[in-house]
Chain A
Amino acid sequence: MSRLEIDSPKRARIVMEELYKDLERRIESSPPGLCPVDMSRAFLELCHAQTCGKCVPCRIGLGQLNHFIKDVLDGKATMETLDIMEQTALSIMESADCAIGYEAAHMVYKGLIGYRDDYEEHIRNGRCTCTYSQPVPCVSLCPAHVDIPGYIALVREGRYADAIRLIRKDNPFPTTCGFICEHPCEARCRRNMVDDSINIRGLKRVAADFAGEVDPPVCAPSTGKKIAVLGGGPGGLSAAYYLQLMGHQATVYEMLPKLGGMLRYGIPNYRLPKDRLEEDVNAILKTGVEVKHGLKIGQDITIQELRNQYDAVLITIGASTDKKMGLEGEDADGVLSAVQFLRNVGRNEIMDLSGKEVAVIGGGNVSMDAVRTAKRLGAKKVSIVYRRRVADMTALPGEIEGAVAEGIELQTLKAPSSLKVNEANHIEGIYVKPQMVSAIRDGRASIKPTGEEDIYIPCDILIVAIGQNIETRHFEEAGIPIERGKILTKSTGAFENMPGVFAGGDCASGPASVIKAIAAAKVVAANIDEYLGYHHEISCDVEIPEARLDDRTPCGRVNLTEREACERVCDFEGVENCMTEKEAKQEAGRCLRCDHFGYGIFKGGREKLW
C-alpha cells in the first residue's frame, strides 16, 4: 500500500498555465487609451474567479463591486454608487483574509481614487471619454513615429534601399538606430499576443547593412533662409537635415572636431562602429548642411550674434557635462566622469589601463559603456558599484548581460560614502555603505542602510556615471528660460519672448535617447519652417507592399547574436552580429501589419507626410 504519490499536473492545469502566459503577454501589449473603468471591471472579474471562496468579503464582496462597476458602465449608477463602492472596497481591503481578496479590492480602490473623473463622466453623461489612441502600437510608441510596418514590409521584400528611404522620412539616422536605438517601439508590439514582439531594431539594422549607400531625397528649391544649429549631435543634425530638405540653409556649429555628438563621443565603437555612424552623417551632409567646427557657444560666439546673422537659431547642445557625487576628493587624480572618459576614447586619446582596478559608480547605460570600455583598455578588474539591486538598474538588460559576460563585477546595494585619496592626490579606493532593499515607493523599491560598517573597495581609477547635466549658463545670461538645469521651451520648441530661437533634444528634455532627440528635431524643423513663413511637407514616395494574407502561426523571434565575449573584449569592433537575409525575411514575415489589420486601417494607420 503506497503512502504518498508523485504529483503530476492534470491536463487542464497544463493548459491553464499556458493561458496564464498568453494573458501575461496580452497585458504586456495592452494598448494605452482603453477605458479604465471597463478595464477595472475586467480585472475584477479575473480576480473574482481566482477567489477560493472561503471568506465572505472576497467571495461576495468582489462580485458586488463588479455589479456596481457594470452599473456605472451601463449608465445606471449615481454618485452615491461611488461612495458605496469605495466603502465596500475599503471594507474588503481591511477585512479579507488573504491577498486574493484584499489586493483585488485594492485594485478597484486605486482606480476609484486614481481615475475618479472617468467614473464620474460615465455617471454624469453616460459617455466614455476614452478613445483607442494607438492603433499601430510600434508607430505610436516610436517618439519619431517612424513607419515601422512599412519598412518591415520592405525589408521582407528585400527592398532595403526603399526601407532606408522610408525610415529617413522620420529619422535620418537609420544605421545608428539599427545599432543602438532603445526601441520603445517593441514594448507593446501586438505580436506579443501571438508569441513575442518583432525584433524591430534588428530589422532596421538589416536594412542599414544590406542597403548600400542611399542618397537623401532632393531638397526643395532654396528659400534663401539661413538657420544656425548649435550642436552637431543627433538632434542638431536631424533638424539640419529636414531644414535642408525644406530648402533652407542650415549651418551646424560643433565645438568638437567631428560630428555626431554623443553618438561619436559617448557611445563606444563596439556598440556603434564609427564608420557606420559616418553613413548617416554623410547622407545628412549630402543635403548641403554647412558645418563650422571648433566654436563654442558662449566662448567664441554668442547667441545674440547668431540671431543677427541668421533667420533662426536652433539650440541642440545636448547634455554633456557631468553630475558630481558631492564627495570630498572627487577632483583627485584618477577620478573621471564617464562623459570625459568616453569622450577621450572617442577622440582616440586611449588610456592604458593594463593591470589597473577600475570602479564605476552608477547603473545606467552610460555606466555599462564605461565598464566595458575600461575592460577593453586592459583593466585587470572592473566593478560596477551601485546603490540598488541589478533589477533596479536603468541600463537595458542586454547591456548588463553583455557586461557580465565580459567579466565585469557587480557590486550592488553599496552606496558610496567617502573616497580615499593618497598624498599624491590620487584615488586609492572608495568606501561604500551596505544597503538593503526596502519598501516600494512610487513603484520602485527603495533602499535603506543595513547598519553594517562601510566596506572599502580599492581602485586605481574611479569613473562616475550618475548622470549628465546641461551647460546652461550662457543661455541663461542671454535671457533664455532655464528650469531645473534644463532649457525650458514651449511644446513647439520655441520661446515666449525670443522669436526665431528654438531648442530641442537633451538640452531641453534632459538626458534621453537618440530617437527622442530625433523626434524633437522633427518638431523644431517643422516649426522653424512655419516661423519662416513656409509650409514645407516631408514625405516619401516609396510604395509600401500590400499586407500579406498568410496565417500568423506562432514562430520564435530572431534575436541578434553577439561575438564571443572572450574575443570581443580584446578589441573595440562591433559586438553584435546582424541577422542573415533568411532570418530577416522570416522575422519581417512575423509582423502583424497593424497598419492594415485592426484599427489602423480605419484611423491613425499611416501618416504619409508631416
Chain B
Amino acid sequence: MVNLMIDGKQISVKENTTIMEAAAQNGIPIPKLCYLKGINEIAACRVCVVELEGKEKLITSCNNVAEEGMVIYTNSPKVRRHRRTTVELILSQHDCQCVSCARSGNCSLQSVANDLNILDIPYKTMLERQPWDKKFPLIRDSSKCIKCMRCVQVCEKVQGLGVWDVEGTGSRTTVNVAGHKSIREADCALCGQCITHCPVGALRERDDTEKVWNAIEDKNKTVVVQVAPAVRAAWGEELGLKPEEATVGKILDACKRMGADYVFDTTFSADLTIMEEGTEFLKRFTEGELKERPMFTSCCPGWIRFIKSQFPHLVRQLSTAKSPQQMFGAAMKTYFAEKIGVSPEQIYTVSVMPCVAKKGEREMELFYGEYAGHDIDAVITTRELVKMIRSAHIRPDTLEDRASDRPMQQGSGAGVIFGVTGGVMEAALRSAYYLLKKENPPADAFKAVRSPEFQANDGVIEAEFAIDDVKVRTAVVSGLGNTRRLLNRIERGEVHYDFVEVMACPGGCVGGGGQPIHDGEELAFERGQNLYYLDEGAQLRFSHENEDILAMYEEYFEKPMSHKAHMLLHTEHER
C-alpha cells in the first residue's frame, strides 16, 4: 500500500494506482477529458492536472501513479487557474454552438466548462473545417473535435482497424481518416465505437429521423417499425426510466403515438433467423463443409463489413442468412404486405437499432416480383429514437405497454438475447438441439457461451457441446480487435470450431455504437444481464416454438431454406 495526502485527506491506496484513481476511490473526482481507462491514458488534454507539493510544474493525474508521501492538491488556486485556461483554450478551437449539437447535455467538454463556470473565452475562436461526406452513416465534424485521440485509440486498440489517425504536425495537427483516405475508402466497419467514446459531438451517426417523420407524414406510406432486442436494454437511460420500467412495449407505444402504422419487435425475426441459420448450420455441419473452417454468424453488419475488407477469403464461411433486421424488412414487404393488402412500394420499413452499421446494411437490395427496392427504408439508432420521442414531446411516464401487431407478434426469449454477445449462439443451439433430437433441451443448457463479465477472456468464450454423438465446437467473440486475433488463430490452425458467433461491438449489440452514451462507462454487460433476465422470464424460450413464425412458414415460406426463403431471407455475401 502507498500512503499519500490528497486535498488534505490522508489516504492509502494499492501500489501502481494512478493519482486520478486514488482520488476517485476516496471521493474526489478529478475533471478529465481525453482519459479513457486502459485505452487512452496519454495526458493530452491537461484537464486532469494536479499540484504536487514541492514541484513547480503541474502533473497529470491520469497517467502518473500515486507514490509514498505525495502531497497532492486537486483544486488549489494554481490548479484551478491553469485548468481553466486549458479548457478556455480547448473551447477556442471548439464549435460552441451547443444548442445544435447532438451531444448537447451529454458532453464532457460542456460539463467541464460549466463546472468551471466559464462564461467568457478570452481567446480568438479558430475552428477547423474539414470537408466530410454527409451521406455516409458516420459523420465527423472537425470543428468540434478536441483532438483527445480517443477515436484513434478505440479504433486501433479495441477494434483493431485503425480507421482514424493523427494527421499533420505542428499547430495544424488534427485527426482524420488514416492513410489519407476518405471515410468511404477506409475499411470502416461502422461499429460506431468511436462515436460512443467521443467526449464531445465531433462524431455522430447520420441523422435519419427526418426521413422517418416525412414517411409518417406521407399519406401513401404505411410506416412499419421494428425495434431491435438491445434497444430495450438502453433506451430508458436517457429518458430517466429504470430498466424495469423501460419495456419494449413502451417503445412500441411511443412509435405508435408518433404515427407509425404498425409496430413490431425484431425478436420475431430473430426467431426467424434462428430457423434459417440453425437449419443452414446443421446442413453445412453434417455435410462436412465445416471440417476446416467454421460457419460464422451473419447478423452483425459491422462484422460483415470487417470480414469483407480484412478477411475476404473467409466470406464464404459466413451464414447466408440475412440479419433479423433485413429478414423482417423482407417479410414486411412480402408476407405482411400481402396480408394487409398493400403493395410493397407503399410499405415504409423503419428499424430502431442499437447500431450505426445497420444504416449501412440497409443499402442491401431487395427484389421481389415487380418490386425492386430495399428490405429496410430507414434505420434510426436508439439515440435517434430518444430524440424523436423528445421532439414528439411524449412524457415517458405516460407510455404504456403495447403488444406488437399481428401477425408477427410473438418473440421468444431466445430472440431477445440476440442483443448480447453469445445470444445468437445460445438461441441457435437451443433450436439445433431440437432439430437434431426432436425434443427441447433445458432452456439454459447452453449458458456456457455467456460472458461472465465485460470483455472477459479477451472477448472470446469457447464451448463444446455434445448432442448425442454429435459434438459441436463453438466460439463466441465480440469486439473486432478480439475477432481479428481469434481469426488469426483459426487461420494458423491453433484452434478449430464448427460455429462461431461474431459481434463487432464489445459486449454485443447492447454495447452498440448507436446506444446511449455514458462517457467513461461501459454498460454493455449490465444491459446484457437485463436481456438475460427478460429471457428467463419469457413464456417462450425457443425460436422454433414461435407460433407466428410457424404460421408464416406454413402460409408463405413453406420451410427453412425453401426456395422462397432462399430468395427473400438469404443473401450471397459479395466480397
Contact = CB atoms under 8 A, between A and B. Distances in A.
Interface of A: 33-35, 38-39, 42, 73, 125-132, 546-547, 549-551, 596-597, 601-603
A601 B55 contact: no
B167 A128 contact: yes
Interface string B144-182: 000001000000000000000111111111001000100
B261 interface: no
A184 B462 CA distance: 50
A128 B44 contact: no
Contacts of B64: 546-547, 549
A551 B56 contact: yes
Given A601-B42, A602-B44, A127 B169 contact: no
Given A131-B168, A551-B57, 8 more contacts: A38-B170, A132-B173, A546-B64, A549-B64, A551-B55, A551-B56, A602-B42, A602-B149
B59 interface: yes
Contacts of B42: 601-602
A4 B170 CA distance: 49
Contacts of B41: 601
Interface residues of B, number: 27
Given A549-B52, A601-B41, A34 B167 contact: no
Contacts of A35: 168-170, 172
B487 interface: no
B43 A130 contact: no
B131 interface: yes
B161 to A, nearest CB: 16
Contact of A126 (B65, B131, B149, B166): B131
B114 interface: no
B502 to A, nearest CB: 25
Contacts of A547: 64
Nearest to A41: B170
Given A125-B180, A546-B64, A549-B52, A130 B169 contact: yes
Count chain B CB atoms within 10 A of each CB in A546, A549, A601 and give the residue with the most. A549
A125 B176 CA distance: 12
B43 A34 contact: no
B166 A131 contact: yes
Nearest to A39: B170
Contacts of A39: 170
B393 to A, nearest CB: 42
A39 B169 CA distance: 10
A178 B525 CA distance: 53
B168 A128 contact: yes
Contacts of A130: 168-169
Interface in B130-144: 130-131
Contacts of B92: none
B176 A127 contact: yes
A128 B131 contact: no
B63 interface: yes
A601 B43 contact: yes
Contact of B167 (A38, A73, A131, A551): A131
A127 B166 contact: no
Nearest to A74: B172
A85 B173 CA distance: 24
A129 B180 CA distance: 7
Contacts of B165: 131
A84 B21 CA distance: 57
Contacts of A33: 169
Nearest to A600: B42
A274 B482 CA distance: 51
Contacts of B130: 126
A443 B186 CA distance: 42
Contacts of A601: 41-43, 63
Nearest to B44: A602
Nearest to A35: B169
Interface string B42-84: 1110000000100111010001110100000000000000000
22 contacts: A35-B172, A38-B168, A39-B170, A73-B172, A126-B130, A126-B131, A127-B167, A127-B176, A128-B167, A128-B168, A128-B169, A128-B172, A129-B180, A131-B165, A131-B169, A546-B65, A546-B67, A549-B59, A550-B55, A551-B57, A601-B42, A602-B44
Nearest to B41: A601
A130 B52 CA distance: 36
Contacts of A126: 130-131
Nearest to A549: B59
Contacts of B169: 33-35, 38, 128, 130-132
B63 A127 contact: no
Contact of A127 (B43, B55, B180): B180
Contacts of A551: 55-57
Contacts of B168: 35, 38, 127-128, 130-131
A33 B170 CA distance: 10
Contact of A549 (B55, B167, B172): B55
Nearest to B149: A602
A126 B182 CA distance: 12
Contacts of B59: 549
A85 B170 CA distance: 22
A34 B56 CA distance: 30
Contacts of B131: 126
Contacts of A597: 43
Contacts of A131: 165-169
Please provide the 7 A-B residue pairs with the shortest distance between their CB atoms, ordered closest to farther.
Answer: A128-B168, A602-B42, A38-B170, A34-B169, A35-B169, A551-B56, A549-B59
Contacts of A132: 166, 169, 173
B437 to A, nearest CB: 44
A126 B131 CA distance: 9
Contacts of B56: 551
A533 B173 CA distance: 42
Nearest to B156: A603
A430 to B, nearest CB: 52
B177 to A, nearest CB: 9
